[in-house]
Structure 1
Amino acid sequence: AILHTTNLYPTPAHLVRLGAMQQMHEAFPDHVFGLSDHTVSNHACYAAVALGASILERHFTDHMNRTGPDIINSMDAQATKELIEGSKLIWEMRGGVKEPAVEEQVTIDFAFATVCTIKDIAQGEKFTKENIWVKRPGTGEILADKFEDILGKTARVDIAIDQQLKLENVE
């Protein structure tokens, strides 16, 4: 494993240099990489995990009231527990691509809007801002981003108020 460190006790945030950790990983891409941290909190370790680190090192003490040059940048049992739990969560959060997750569909259906009638519309009547608008839920055929495309087109059939507009109803 390759670990980046700043050998300063404690290390101030501006000297952590997580970019150096990434440079080491780029130079040795087949090696496990991580951070040997000498800051006074778990924040640098969390950031390292978010950047791909899979190994972390921090000093440990049984209580923070001890004396010594590295106690200030050590962690006690509670901070260790938080580091382990937080790192696992952050590791799970990494990766992914920018597209809706399958599990988001229920929220998408609720949060997105569909083009709906806000007045009764007669067959042959043009769609205008006075007779259609976008409303939740987004479960209809014509989502809100197509609202402008519908304006000026005509209704193929009579459509009652508060109905989600269907493509088959638009000429």
Structure 2
Amino acid sequence: MRKILLLFFLSLILQSCLYRNNEGRWTTDPAESAFEPVTVDRETFESTIAISGPREIERAGKIYVNGDMVYINEVNIGFHVLDNRDPENPENISFIEIPLATDLAIRNNTIYVHHAVDLVAMHYNLGSIEIVHRERNVFPRLNSPDGFLAEDFDLEEDQIIIGYQTRN
């Protein structure tokens, strides 16, 4: 009985070393992913944070309140900035474009944003932003929709994954 249990658990452990591709077949080759990463170089990636005029909220994520300001995440696109001095009539005043941004925290008027793989600290002042600090590669790279890790793809270190597309 012990041998049977040992073989059963051993087979479970070995199965965890396999990938499942889109056809339902098991494989150990990440090259069989149905997706390939879409990347940009780090310099281009770091220049993607910008401020623009207000826009309609289409796909709201988390909401943050700091004093009279409200920040609403537009998932993976950036943050809407609203002036909330009149809570009955909040005014949408600007949009901070931060591709792949999903989270934000504020402490002592410094905004900390998850920007894909980086953590960015910045100051916002009515229509302008100043990046105070960028801590690179704090967060893991984006994994493929079919479960392959970003590390499974052969990428240069300065390449940032911004999405995935289906293989041709």
Query: Shorter-chain-normalised TM-score: which range?
Result: under 0.3
Structure 1-normalised TM-score? 0.19
Structure 2-normalised TM-score? 0.20
Q: Which has the higher contact order (CA 8 A, sep 6+)?
A: 2
Structure holding more helix per residue:
1
Structure holding more strand per residue:
2
Which of structures 1 and 2 has the bigger CA Rg?
1
